[in-house]
Structure 1
Amino acid sequence: MGLGASSHETLMSANKCVCCNESYWVRFERDYFSQGTCRWAFRGTYHGNGKHAGNKCVTKVFKDNVARHYDSWVPDLLASKEAVRMGKNFNREHPTNRQIQFITPLICKMDKIGDSGGFLWIRDEDERFVRKQEWVAVEPFIEGEYKKFNSNSGAVFGLSEALPAFSHYTYDASDRELVVCDLQGVRSHNYYYLTDPAICSRDELYGPTDIGVTGIAMFFENHICTEICKNFAKPNIDNDYVVKGLQPKRSSSYTFEFSGAERAANRYFRNRKTLPAVSE
């Protein structure tokens, strides 16, 4: 499907692009090209006066029309900004052959809904996936092969030494408070371009993929240190407190999937510097 008159359109973004300090509005297709547990992804283009005008983008829409307010995207923005900050520090302190670069999304409010493509006299707005006044997130379309490198439940994919070390670094640099994980994106010759990171934190500040202390424990249960991270701080495990039945998986894990045992562990260890033991 092309981006014609029946495409969706947003208003100008509420925040500005971090690389050019410009706001943009976007036009995007009515049918998604990919989806996850909580969101659909649509192809689109940037519009405005900045250097990205005309470039391809990806618009992400919450399922079930839950993003009726800007606040729905605040945890994602917080996670992206913290990941950006940590990535820059890691690149400076532990340079590798590829720099880590996270993408910060623009947040836009919907303006125009494309029509459903029926007969001229019965055309209606196509609200199958998005509605007016809803807020959506917009990111650049990254050319290349999209890969997942680790998940927020401890799974690791591929042979990269830098990315697992980066996740370990975030635990050390945050004084054992969090782990940036769920790393996914495109690997180029000089960069890892990463999008949609999750942060597992003791205070569970970063939205539904922040599975708390349990997520941090699962990361370290499956992590093997490399030369980069072998001297970083490692967790102290309370082997008298075991959370059972946890398995790392490729897809993102969400707090709403948690049982009472994981929720209880997160509460118990929130203000402690130790972590629970975890087992399958």
Structure 2
Amino acid sequence: MGISPSSHETLMSSNKCVCCNRSYWILFEREHFSHGACRWAFRGTYNGDGKHGGSKCVAKVFKAKVARHYNNWVPDLAASEQAQRMAKSFNKEHPTSRPIQFITPLICKMDKIGDHGGFLWIRDEDERYVKKQEWVAVEPFIDGEYKKFNSNSGAVLEWSEALAAFSHYTYNASDRELIVCDLQGVRARNYYSLTDPAICSRDQIYGPTDMGATGISQFFEKHRCTQICKYFAKPEIDNSYIVKGLQPKRSSSYTFELTRVQSTANRDFKNRKTLPAISEF
């Protein structure tokens, strides 16, 4: 991968890998290879005496407007852990040809910031994207063609019967309290390996991609049941309460993009079993 001596370096992760119960520290490149509305993504390598030592990873850094403290990563970590628990239950109760798995990230504190490189007399630290004492999330690099299957605002981008059913399953299994969506990752021959899920919940406790009750409504506005999920619980829509002007986005949506009417609807439907109606007009 060509990680240079001036790469960024973390301390040992604060949590342990779920598959080998080991902590790792990370070296990652100064230049990102991808980014979204909230995060930069960098190629890196795991370091440590566990089975992942020396293998490729992706380090994700919150952009400054979202903040980069440990507490900012807690909801993301909770969303990944909750999604994986529900995937295990779904795989057991409704087995398909491709079991679903979610990657649980490691959370690491920055230790050393690489220099700018270039001329020998320029040795100042490269703080364009990350600084010392900030926190980053680390995941394995997923080989294969990366796809986004659905978004957290109702868009269906790549049809998968199993993943559509899984999102519906999470609403059913949580007693209508949440839905796991924004499903993205690699569809391999024998499994789905997914990363960065969003959870839309009535309590809005799952971070900047938790769009609350209106996010749940938008999913069901576009969802069409499969043979797997046709008997699952379906939401009761309160057609006397219509949130207008909401259109499903292909990319992830964030809480700082919520309209005033969405925020009001989320508060109004926090403790109800019904959901608001959604209109694009």
Does the CA-based 8 Å contact 1:68-1:133 persist in structure 2? Answer: no
% identical equivalent positions: 77
Please list, as runs of the form range in 1=range in 2, the aligned pairs for 1:182-221 lying within 5 A after superposition.
Answer: 182-221=182-221
Aligned to 1:125: 125
Aligned to 2:223: 223
CA distance in 2, matches of 1:65, 1:50: 34
Cα separation, partners in 2 of 1:65 and 1:210, compared to 1, 3 Å: closer
Aligned to 1:173: 173
Give how far 1:118 is off.
Answer: 3.0
Q: What amino acid is aligned across from residue 228 of structure 1 in structure 2? A: I
CA distance in 2, matches of 1:61, 1:189: 30
1:198-234 Cα distance to aligned partner (Å, 9 max, x none): 0000000000100000000000000000000000000
Gaps of 5+ in 1: none
CA distance in 2, matches of 1:88, 1:250: 27
Shift >4 Å, 4+ stretches:
65-68
Gaps of 5+ in 2: none
Where 1:85 maps in the other structure, the secondary structure is helix
Q: What amino acid is aligned across from residue 104 of structure 2 in structure 1? A: T
Aligned to 1:246: 246
Please list, as runs of the form range in 1=range in 2, the aligned pairs for 1:28-177 lying within 5 A after superposition.
Answer: 28-64=28-64, 66-177=66-177
CA distance in 1, matches of 2:27, 2:158: 35
TM-score (norm 2): 0.98
CA distance in 2, matches of 1:251, 1:216: 16
Please list, as runs of the form range in 1=range in 2, the aligned pairs for 1:21-32 lying within 5 A after superposition.
Answer: 21-32=21-32
Does the CA-based 8 Å contact 1:108-1:137 persist in structure 2? Answer: yes
Question: Could you tell which deviates more after superposition, 185-194 or 59-68?
Answer: 59-68
CA distance in 2, matches of 1:176, 1:161: 21
Give how far 1:2 is off.
Answer: 2.5
CA distance in 2, matches of 1:17, 1:123: 34
CA distance in 2, matches of 1:249, 1:135: 29
Give how far 1:119 is off.
Answer: 2.0
TM-score (norm 1): 0.98
Does the CA-based 8 Å contact 2:9-2:111 persist in structure 1? Answer: yes
Q: What amino acid is aligned across from residue 216 of structure 1 in structure 2? A: I
Q: What amino acid is aligned across from residue 185 of structure 2 in structure 1? A: G
- State the superposition RMSD in angstroms: 1.0
Cα separation, partners in 2 of 1:54 and 1:136, compared to 1, 3 Å: same
1:22-69 Cα distance to aligned partner (Å, 9 max, x none): 000000000000000000000000000100000000000001175443
Q: What amino acid is aligned across from residue 81 of structure 2 in structure 1? A: K
Number of aligned positions between the proteins? 280
Where 2:107 maps in the other structure, the secondary structure is strand
